[in-house]
Amino acid sequence: MLYSVAMNYGEPTPDIYPERYKKGVWLFNNRHFFECHEILEAQWMESIGLEKTFNQMIIHAAVAFVHWENSNRKGVLSLHHTFQQKAQAVLTAANAPLYMGFNVAKFQTDMEALLGPYVRDASLPLAPYETMIAPQIEVTGFEPLSCTEHELLVLGRIIEEDE
């Protein structure tokens, strides 16, 4: 499949995007928010500059939904706020709506459409997690990498590390 990707100066090309990033996108889009956070946290710790802020942005979005699953409205709103800050920083630094093939501008808009009403109305209870439709991360230039059942278990800390 051929892709047309507008690249910014200093932006990595799809052939060198980290595997953990590609798996993180798949995890997020498949509602494995805790696992997305786990795999991208390792990537975040190894990154610098814009890439570090970018990884944090995705982590904050994922953790907002972990809080939603736990019915923690305050946590959802706090992480949404920091997500929005990181997203704006990425958009400003990248000077483009895309970074690493990720449509940051659309994702930021979609997150605001979902969470904005809760920000504006403190009396609005969170919708049940099961009915909440999280935004999807749209990417170009690469296909997200799926995780195996074993990877999901390890990331979810359900099995011991020495197994």
Residue 160 lies in a domain: no
pLDDT for residue 4: 32
| Location of structure tokens 């999901």 | 152
pLDDT in tens, 18-59: 999 999 999 999 999 999 999 999 889 999 999 999 999 999
pLDDT band with cut points at 50, 70 and 90 for residue 161: very low
User: Is residue 114 within 8 Å of 134, Cβ to Cβ?
Assistant: yes
pLDDT band with cut points at 50, 70 and 90 for residue 157: low
Specify the CATH number for the domain of residue 131. Answer: 1.10.3450.10
pLDDT in tens, 95-146: 999 999 999 999 999 999 999 999 999 999 999 999 999 999 999 999 998 8
Higher-confidence residue of 28 and 148: namely: 28
pLDDT band with cut points at 50, 70 and 90 for residue 67: very high
Cα torsion angle, 36, 41, 42, 48, sign? positive
Instruction: Give the structural domain span for 57.
Output: 18-155
Lowest-confidence segment of 14-18, 86-90, 125-129 by average pLDDT: 14-18
Task: Give the number of domains in the chain.
Answer: 1
pLDDT band with cut points at 50, 70 and 90 for residue 11: low
Residue 8 lies in a domain: no
Q: What is the DSSP letter of 10?
A: T
User: Is residue 157 within 8 Å of 35, Cβ to Cβ?
Assistant: no
Q: The pTM is what?
A: 0.86
pLDDT for residue 150: 75
Residue 90 lies in a domain: yes
User: Is residue 132 within 8 Å of 68, Cβ to Cβ?
Assistant: yes
pLDDT for residue 145: 87
Tokens read off for 140? 């170009």
pLDDT for residue 114: 98
Residue 161 lies in a domain: no
pLDDT for residue 90: 97
